[in-house]
Structure 1
């Protein structure tokens, strides 16, 4: 019997299909089994973002089942355990400025000063990453602000926000959704965010790892984050920040799984 599933490209059909898959999985195997397969489950509904240009040689990246990010490259022979200090660089927003919907804001008076919001999101992302590492019980890295402060082998974490989907009201204002969609439209709206990142050896300046991910925040119909165009993105950034620390602490052969990107909340 051929068990291969051909996934539709329509966001609505993809969301419906994923919901059915998750219901079936919960019924048959229970919640714990679903969590162990969330790296694969995420790939059913969230396609990787196109390469934005922040990462050189993106073709080297692959999907690893033991990591939550959709694209990863690690230099052969790289040993993260030899590094003890970390610099978290300011988050790059250059590629966010190139989003299609942002270019159409001149015709929509719904949003004021979105570019300032983007900078605030970049600061939020960086602050969450720093907070997670500082509160890490294992103290895997000593956080430093500048390369000149390092006294031990150190890495520099460089991140770029490359996509944040606007919320449903913004899509309405831009004419990308029909008015009156109601709850159904709220569930279908995927509200994705994406980043590209790299790790750099501070002593040599060499990039030793690259990674990229696009994720989707829960699209429950009563989610009040619709009140801001960027609201769902902060939850995704929180998740990424936690994952960075888990990856830094993981043991050889250990997997870091992604949380379920879509929760069924019909009421």
Structure 2
């Protein structure tokens, strides 16, 4: 949702509480090998850093919680973008919901793939240089529509999985001048899928989160290549 005030979206505000409609469906899984995979939780990442908003001005960007740009910035003078490795720092609001390595790798690789597609090969830089922007992006929430829960015994030697029908995702990104390191722009957003009954992705693996990622990649690329930050 568009927000003209410079404030962090709900996933970044410790005091904020966001509720999503979820459904829990119990599925018994008997294979011991599956139990081992289900218990592999890659949480424990460092805290999400504070966004460097000082000196920046909030600009309208449809559907983006935060799009702040340094006054006087002319993005048209940059012609290439260096995309850093996509980071991931997730602290689950749902304590019993694991973040598997498969989920984490999908989130990182899918976001990068979509960014590269939106910018196009000719606009991608391999190293810093004149006319190059550096994009550092961090995924701060990623909830599949069908996530894995930590191991739970079902009394028969197997485990119990549960699945949410609604996905979530959030990110923040910092755009800097690759030569000087000066912050040029900041992006941040969070989103939750449609309620059950309206959610077309409820039975998919990553339908909601992937949809958000595609939108964010397109918005970031459009803001940069379209000169939306020109002041």
Give the superposition deviation at 1:165. Answer: 2.8
Aligned to 2:208: 232
Q: Distance in 2 between matches of 1:217 and 1:233?
A: 8
Give the superposition deviation at 1:252. Answer: 6.3
Aligned to 1:164: 142
Task: Report 1:172-183 matches (<5 A).
Answer: none
State the Cα deviation string for residues 246-267 of structure 1 (Å, max 9, x = none): 212436699xxxxxxxxxxxxx
Instruction: Report if the CA contact (8 A) 1:164-1:193 is conserved.
Output: yes
Q: Does 1:104 align with 2:84?
A: no
Give the superposition deviation at 1:214. Answer: 0.9
Among 145, 169, 175, the residue aligned to 1:193: 169
Among 205, 223, 237, the residue aligned to 2:200: 223
Taking a change above 3 Å as real, the CA distance of residues 62 and 91 of structure 1, as seen in their structure-2 partners, is: same
State the Cα deviation string for residues 151-180 of structure 1 (Å, max 9, x = none): x41101111000123436758x99xxxxxx
Among 48, 52, 72, the residue aligned to 2:10: 48
Give the superposition deviation at 1:66. Answer: 4.2
Q: How many residues align?
A: 181
Give me the CA root mean square deviation: 3.6
> Could you say what secondary structure the match of 1:226 adopts?
coil
Task: Report 1:250-265 matches (<5 A).
Answer: 250=226
User: As a proportion of its length, which structure holds more helix?
Assistant: 1
Taking a change above 3 Å as real, the CA distance of residues 195 and 61 of structure 1, as seen in their structure-2 partners, is: farther
Aligned to 1:142: 123
Could you state the TM-score of these two structures normalised by the residue count of structure 2? 0.63
Taking a change above 3 Å as real, the CA distance of residues 242 and 219 of structure 1, as seen in their structure-2 partners, is: farther
Instruction: Report if the CA contact (8 A) 2:133-2:175 is conserved.
Output: yes
Taking a change above 3 Å as real, the CA distance of residues 169 and 57 of structure 1, as seen in their structure-2 partners, is: closer
Among 122, 125, 128, the residue aligned to 2:111: 125
Could you state the TM-score of these two structures normalised by the residue count of structure 1? 0.55
Q: Distance in 1 between matches of 2:107 and 2:188?
A: 18
User: As a proportion of its length, which structure holds more strand?
Assistant: 2
Give the superposition deviation at 1:62. Answer: 6.9
Q: Distance in 1 between matches of 2:85 and 2:106?
A: 11
Q: Distance in 2 between matches of 1:53 and 1:193?
A: 14
